[in-house]
Structure 1
Amino acid sequence: MVASLGFILLGGVFVWAGTEHFWNFRVVSGMLADKGLPAAKGLLALGSVVEIVAGLCLAMGVMRPYAAVALILFTIAASLMALNFWRYSGMERQGLRSAFIINVAVVGGLLLAATA
């Protein structure tokens, strides 16, 4: 019961984030383009679909290990591309570094989910 709730919460975060990216597509893709990412709109669309589909699978227990691995790969790629704190300084660096560290913890949770 507790594990099921954990999977729902963990998967739900990705579903929410992916959905929110589509709601704010123009703003988020602009931010990614400003960071110098090529094909920011395409990357954002693809990443958001992965977040939603794999998040739903994780939450519902459908192909859970594969969903967890997909989300691990997504989280690592997104963190390296969008949370590149090492290129910044001051408050911006601190905020990006905090988000990056949180994603490291999320990957840890997803590793547990992949083996559950």
Structure 2
Amino acid sequence: MATMAESLGFILLGGVFVWAGAEHFWNFRSVSGLLTEKGLPAAALLLGAGSIIEIVAGLCLAIGVMRPYAAIALILFTIAATLMALNFWRYSGAERQGLRSAFIINFAVVGGLILAATA
């Protein structure tokens, strides 16, 4: 049985993905447009599928349903999304720095998800 601290950690980690996925749907046109500008093929399809994965797997992680599988799904999603959308090496200046920071932060998120998958 998870301790109170572990439960809170799972809720917070899963909740970030639920929030992000929901926010993508709320701002679907603008986010889809940004992904199209980055040159991603079928940006709307990728955004919709990714957002569904974020919401469903995030909820599963937060409430403890199939937690290892949810964490693995989110690991794969985070790596794929990071490589596709946070390609800082193609930019310069402040934009490069912002994308690079988000890229690095996602490494920590993957680390947390690895812990969640093995808990």
- On whether the aligned pair clears a TM of 0.5, the verdict is yes
Matching of residues 4-23 of structure 1 within 5 Å: 4-23=7-26
Looking at structure 1, the residues matched to 96 and 26 of structure 2 have their Cα atoms a distance apart, in angstroms, of: 26
Q: Name the TM-score, length of structure 1 as normaliser.
A: 1.00
Match of 1:47 in 2: 50
2-structure distance, mates of 1:13, 1:68: 13
Aligned residue for 1:68? 71
Any idea what the Cα deviations from partners look like across 1:64-86, whole Å, max 9, x if unmatched?
00000000000000000000001
> Partners in 2 of 1:105 and 1:39 — Cα distance?
28
State the match for 2:40 in structure 1: 37
Compute the RMSD of aligned alpha carbons. 0.2
Match of 1:85 in 2: 88
1:108 maps to which of 106, 111, 114: 111
TM value normalised by structure 2: 0.97
Displacement of 1:10 in angstroms is 0.1
Structure 1 gap ranges (5+): none
